[in-house]
């Protein structure tokens, strides 16, 4: 965990880009409603294993690598109600990551909002823009946003709106890519291994741009930005360690897509035997590995978990 007094030497980055054509941070795809909330902690299955029960995740195996790590971290936090989830998507990720039913979910995508309503993870789901929240002042004790605000152009508007709807002393909890995300990718590391550092840097910047990562700050940069919007940072931790980023990005790479092609060809045939073989293989190979990397770290990770408290500005 970072002591904010020790962050002065870290630099601040910001990358401007268009929204991504395909963003896997929070699912906006149409996903069959196979399950609702998963609050039964008596299950012996890990979050990663349970995610693989969803065919959406099973045939996109790079997603549960990072999302199960993120979900376990979020699940470990105390979220004091009432809670607002900004960028809730269709509720699929939320069904794995919250211990309680969330009071309000908000997303800008109409279809995602309708799916989230059916999934039963939220008491209510609102259609709206995080840059101009259609909600009353001083309403929530907790605002959470998982892998969303880095995609929204008006960051200061998002932060000021989160501040507005929080009660005094309320917490804003969110995850975003770190300044180490790009350099941890399979392609960037491969270029560095070959001695092509400029290509490695260009690859990292291009991947961030294509992923729609508009805002990439160091911990010090986030502390400064949040302070300017009336927040006091309580903690900043790295999550999604570099080796997990590397594996996630390898699963995104052309070599893996070639290896995985036979399963992709069977995906739309809905053959349970093929599903079971793939599920067994992924669980056997990765369950323990992913579980060991589902923590919070003082340094070295592709994402940041940031917890900030609203304080009075008058």
What is the full DSSP assignment across 219-269? Answer: HHHHHHHHHTTTEEEEEEEEES-HHHHHHHHHHHSHHHHHHHHHHHHHHTT
What backbone torsions phi and psi does residue 146 show, to the nearest 5 degrees? -105, 115
| Measured distance CA(192)–CA(199) in Å, rounded | 8
In a domain, 186, yes or no: no
**pLDDT (tens digit per residue) in 79-90:** 999 999 999 999
In a domain, 208, yes or no: no
In a domain, 272, yes or no: yes
More confident residue, 300 or 190: 190
Number of CB atoms found within 10 A of residue 5's CB: 7
pLDDT at 139 over 50: yes
**pLDDT (tens digit per residue) in 257-301:** 899 999 988 888 889 999 999 999 999 999 999 999 998 887 789
> What are the helix (H) ranges across 120-185?
155-165
**pLDDT band at residue 26, thresholds of 50, 70 and 90?**
low
Nearest alpha carbon to residue 70 among 150, 143, 177, 151: 177
pLDDT at 193 over 50: yes
Q: Are 40 and 211 in contact (CB under 8 A)?
A: no
Number of CB atoms found within 10 A of residue 94's CB: 26
pLDDT at 16 over 70: no
Provide the CB-side half-sphere exposure for 251 (13 A, CA): 18
pTM (2 d.p.): 0.84
**pLDDT (tens digit per residue) in 303-313:** 999 999 998 65
**pLDDT (tens digit per residue) in 69-124:** 999 999 999 999 999 999 999 999 999 999 999 999 999 999 999 999 999 999 99
56: domain range?
A: 4-179+214-310
In a domain, 275, yes or no: yes
Nearest alpha carbon to residue 232 among 295, 159, 287: 159
* Total domain count, the chain: 1
**pLDDT band at residue 38, thresholds of 50, 70 and 90?**
very low
What is the mean predicted confidence (pLDDT) over 181-205? 96
What is the mean predicted confidence (pLDDT) over 205-223? 94
In a domain, 149, yes or no: yes
In a domain, 199, yes or no: no
In a domain, 205, yes or no: no
Give the 3-state secondary structure of residue 74.
helix
Task: Tell me what pLDDT residue 300 has.
Answer: 85
Task: Tell me what pLDDT residue 268 has.
Answer: 87
In a domain, 209, yes or no: no
Task: Tell me what pLDDT residue 25 has.
Answer: 54
CATH number at residue 271: 3.40.50.150
């Amino acid at each position: 965990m970072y002591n904010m007094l020790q962050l002065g030497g870290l630099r601040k980055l910001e990358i401007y880009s268009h929204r991504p054509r395909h963003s896997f941070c929070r699912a906006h795809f149409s996903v069959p409603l196979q399950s609702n909330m998963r609050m039964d902690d008596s299950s012996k299955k890990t979050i990663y294993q349970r995610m693989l029960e969803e065919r959406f995740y099973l045939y996109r195996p790079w997603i549960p690598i990072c999302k199960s790590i993120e979900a376990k971290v979020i699940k470990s936090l105390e979220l004091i109600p009432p809670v607002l989830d900004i960028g809730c998507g269709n509720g699929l990720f939320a069904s794995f990551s919250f211990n309680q039913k969330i009071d309000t979910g908000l997303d800008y995508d109409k279809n995602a909002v309708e799916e989230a309503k059916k999934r039963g993870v939220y008491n209510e789901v609102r259609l709206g823009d995080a840059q101009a929240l259609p909600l009353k002042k001083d309403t929530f004790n907790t605002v959470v946003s998982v892998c969303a605000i880095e995609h929204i152009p008006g960051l200061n508007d998002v932060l000021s709106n989160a501040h507005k709807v929080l009660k005094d002393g309320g917490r804003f909890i969110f995850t975003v890519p770190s300044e180490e995300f790009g350099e941890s990718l399979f392609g960037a590391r491969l270029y560095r291994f070959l001695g092509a550092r400029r290509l490695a840097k260009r690859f990292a910047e291009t991947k961030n741009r294509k992923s729609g990562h508009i805002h990439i700050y160091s911990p010090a940069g986030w502390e400064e930005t949040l302070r300017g919007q009336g927040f006091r940072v309580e903690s900043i931790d790295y999550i999604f360690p570099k080796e997990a980023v590397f594996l996630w990005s390898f699963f995104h790479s052309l070599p893996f897509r070639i290896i995985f092609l036979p399963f992709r060809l069977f995906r739309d045939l809905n053959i349970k035997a093929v599903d079971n073989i793939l599920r067994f293989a992924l669980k056997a190979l990765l369950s323990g590995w992913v579980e060991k990397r589902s923590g919070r770290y003082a340094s070295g990770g592709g994402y940041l978990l940031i917890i900030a408290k609203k304080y009075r500005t008058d």
